[in-house]
Amino acid sequence: MKSFELTNYLERLRAARNISQEFFTTGITSLRQYRRYLSGESDIPFQVIDKFCDRLGIQTINLMRELETARIDESKDVDAFYNHVVYNNHEKVNELRDAYSNKQFIDSENKMLFEHANILYDFMTQKINADIAAQKNKNLIHFEKINKQSIFSLTEMLIMTSLLDLDPILAEKQMIASRLKIILSDQSLVLGSSVNFAYPLVLFRLAKFSGSNKNYGDVINYCKMGIDHGLSMKNFYLLEYFYYYSALSYFRLGDLENYELMLMRCFVALHMDDNPKKIEKFTQMINRDFNISFADFVIEHYRKNNSKSTG
């Protein structure tokens, strides 16, 4: 657990108990040093945490437990906020936006994702244009240092992949795709995240970008990673897209056996979700992209398989 997460949670408890910072720090540390702890400039020693807990009247071990619970709750709220932004749920966006506007975040990853979601919402509601949204997202992740950075969090990667749509500079998009391809090849370089949708969404965006550049081998690789992750975690978010993009890439490469296999798995994934609007959307996409009738394809596939098994 990061040092500033502890100090931020202590600060939240201090404010909730209406204790001034001056009184809270007296005899323990200077007010200036306390603010260094809050900003993350300095790591807070354990014995100092212990003294602050005494002043608040709580046991240090209980603080740790409460902090982890609060961090998880905060992650769920920010996760929900991001989803409300994506689905244009204006009422919920404004409700959570107001709730967190003056709130001290416990987890820096949650704060970063919240700010990123706000940028996306302002872009989607046309308060800012794509260029401004791209620059704001770049500022969030210190974009100018990306080439020197060897390890990334999933939240940083999520924001980086949003630039594949927003950033007008092709060379920067290609740099992002190349950098993340290297990072994803070694999972030890990826810091975890409490954001459940981050990893599959990163892979989805990279697969989409790779497909637009006709790098079909990369598309297949990213989709395989997304499928393996989804099946192992029993999290089927974007699974139908991974099968669809895989089928399209195999089709472009002339690998008809794998194309048919992935298209059938896409069909199964769609009907597992049982969302009529999504089924209709994918049916139209598949009919157009493969120049087939998806319904006839599925019927013919089952017919061929049945004839093989009975032959």
**How confident is residue 310, by pLDDT bands cut at 50, 70 and 90?**
low
Find out whether 136 and 128 touch, Cβ atoms under 8 Å. Answer: yes
**How confident is residue 1, by pLDDT bands cut at 50, 70 and 90?**
very low
pTM of the model: 0.81
More confident residue, 184 or 192: 184
* pLDDT tens per residue across span 251-304: 999 999 999 999 999 999 999 888 999 999 999 999 999 999 999 999 998 888
**How confident is residue 196, by pLDDT bands cut at 50, 70 and 90?**
low
CA-closest candidate to residue 105, choices 7, 4, 1, 8: 8
Provide the greatest CA pair distance for the chain: 87
Distance CA 153, CA 173 (A): 18
Q: CA–CA distance from 52 to each of 36, 49, 202, 256, 288 (Å)?
A: 15, 5, 40, 66, 64
106 pLDDT more than 50: yes
Domain ranges of the chain: 1-58, 72-195, 219-311
Q: CA–CA distance from 140 to each of 109, 193, 201 (Å)?
A: 11, 17, 19
Q: Which CATH superfamily is domain 1-58 in?
A: lambda repressor-like DNA-binding domains (1.10.260.40)
Stretch among 94-103, 239-248, 279-288 having the lowest mean pLDDT: 94-103
Please write down the HEC assignment for all residues of 86-135: HCCCHHHHHHHHHHHCCCCCCCHHHHHHHHHHHHHHHHHCCCCCHHHHHH
User: In degrees rounded to 5, what are phi and psi of residue 237?
Assistant: -60, 125
Distance CA 134, CA 116 (A): 10
